Amino acid sequence: MPDLSASWLARLSASRQQPLQGDTVRSRGAGRAAVAAPTRTDPAEAVPWSVRAVAAWSWRVLVIVAAGATLVYAVVTFKTVVVSFLAALLIATLLEPFSAWLRRRLHFPQALASLTAILAAVMFIGGLLTLAGRSIYHGFGQLADRAVQGFGELTAWLAEGPLAIPQDQIDQWMGQLTDQVQANSDVLVSGVANVTGSVTTVITGALIALFCLFFFLKEGRQIWQWFVRLAPRTARESINESGIRAWVTLGGYTRTQILVAFVDAVGIALGAAILGVPLALPIGVLVFLGAFIPIVGALLSGTVAVLVALVDQGLVTALIMLAIVLAVQQIEGNLLQPWLQSNALAVHPIAILLAVTAGTGIAGILGALFAVPVAAVINTVVLYLHGHDKYPQLATDLNRPGGPPGAVTSAIEEDYAHTGDEASTAVPV
């Protein structure tokens, strides 16, 4: 009979020498935990995600600001060329329908139709300025006489009125005023030199604008297609469509602004004529030109009308003239302009004010003149590229500017077929 007690003792001794299964699992888990313990060697891992996101946005914003500053510097440096180019675009949006009518109805060649449209515009503007210039020449002579008479009455009132200022004291003040004018004569001379330089710049800019205007009317579509041709094939359709909508926006804004300026000029000039204020026609021309500069132009032109009434006819007439100016501008600003420009502009008044301020800081009055149409065009293009079309009817209009929808690729290939390098010069995709 086997010794059971001995065999039981042997098994018990062997089991005590082997580790338990749970102990084995725990020891293996501890080993894996020791192996998996992280060792941070990259300092970027210690930066929170939010800080990294802000840093990524920051350098991108800095790049955008630097690009914008470079663009502004280029615009300021080449201000004459940029202003001339923009002026030619604005005028082209007005003259293009007339030029197209000459080609379509009277069968004028493109060059002759473009030249005829430009000459008609120059004759109209020149006649208007000549008419206003004659009135200004004769009217300001009368106004100067009236101002001298008023100044004499003022000095007499100072000497004989309630103040009873001695005449020698008045003569002494007049002498000091004369001395100040003579002492600052160099400033006047430098001002004349600056005006001469400005006249040279204006003549140069006008010649550039006329040159660009002629070719915009004659070959505007070919010029635009050349620009679209530089883009990748997949982007040409979007660029062409956004450009067409920018052109429609620019033309709508220009025609609307002319109508609004005409209403302002007629209303204020008619009020000045009824009151018997001199220079009614020049005031109307000034109001017409000033209305193209939103907010600032209306204020300045209205102020000139009130000051002329004050100098010529006194305080009561000036107050009535002020009421007329405010009434006309309120009707134009609150009724006419929002109704006409609801589709042509669609830019918030705050954006308009900021655009006018920025344009004035960059290029003076000319910058204020072009700030609003540029902002309107940018707004239209950005909205279209983000899926919001302000002019959905253009998608099916076969007679729209720029050609029928979807025909830009075939038009480019047809216009440049004689070169044979459309595929080689296009930007690859």
pLDDT at 384 over 80: yes
Question: What is the pLDDT confidence band of residue 181, given thresholds at 50, 70 and 90?
Answer: low
User: Computed from CA positions of residues 44, 48, 53, 56, in that sequence, does the dihedral angle turn out positive or negative?
Assistant: negative
Q: What percent of the chain is predicted at pLDDT more than 90?
A: 9
Q: What is the mean pLDDT of residues 222-247?
A: 88
Other CB atoms within 10 A of residue 365 CB: 15
Q: What is the pLDDT of residue 427?
A: 41
Task: Please tell me the predicted confidence (pLDDT) of residue 199.
Answer: 73
Confidence at 263, pLDDT banded by 50, 70, 90: confident
Please say whether the beta carbons of 309 and 336 come within 8 A: no
| Gap between the Cα atoms of 175 and 348, Å rounded | 53
Quick one: pLDDT at residue 150? 53
Query: Given this model, what pLDDT does residue 109 score?
Result: 92
Tell me what pLDDT residue 115 has: 93
Residue position matching structure tokens 């300045």 = 300
Residue 33 pLDDT > 70: no
Residue with tokens 């515009």: 121
* Residue 205 vs residue 412, higher pLDDT: 205
Inform me whether the pLDDT recorded for 238 exceeds 60: yes
For residue 230, the 8-state DSSP code is T
Residue 179, pLDDT score = 66
End-to-end Cα spacing for the chain: 96
pLDDT in tens, 184-227: 555 545 544 454 456 787 788 889 999 999 999 998 888 888 88
Res. 360 pLDDT band, cuts 50 70 90: confident
pLDDT at 14 over 80: no
Residues in the chain: 429
| Mean residue pLDDT across the chain | 75
Question: Which of 252, 198, 208, 258 is CA-nearest to residue 88?
Answer: 208
**Residue type at 44?**
A
Residue 361 CB neighbour total at 10 angstroms: 13
Structure confidence at residue 118 (pLDDT): 93
| Predicted pLDDT of residue 420 | 53
The whole-number pLDDT of residue 424 equals: 43
Do residues 403 and 396 touch, judged by C-beta distance below 8 A?
no
Q: Is the pLDDT of residue 256 over 90?
A: no
At 43-80, the pLDDT tens digits run 667 778 888 888 889 999 999 999 988 987 887 788 88
Tokens of 95: 């003259």
In angstroms, what CA-CA distances link 75 with 83, 168, 221, 294, 363? Answer: 9, 56, 25, 21, 9
CA 216 to chain centre: 20
Q: How does pLDDT run across 283-303, given as a tens digit for each residue?
A: 887 788 777 766 666 667 777
Q: Which residues of 281-313 are buried (b: 16+ CB within 10 A; e: fewer)?
A: bbbbbbbbbbbbbbebbbeebbebbbebbbbbb
Q: Looking at the predicted structure, is the pLDDT value of residue 32 above 70?
A: no
Residue 252 CB contacts under 8 Å (≥ 6 apart), including other chains: 341, 343, 344
Residue 289 is predicted with a pLDDT of 76
| pLDDT for residue 116 | 93
Percent of residues, the chain, with pLDDT higher than 70: 67
pLDDT at 309: 81
Rg (CA), the chain: 38
> At 343, is the pLDDT very low, low, confident or very high (cuts 50, 70, 90)?
low
CA dihedral 28, 31, 33, 37 (to 10 degrees): -160
Is the full-model pTM beyond 0.85?
no
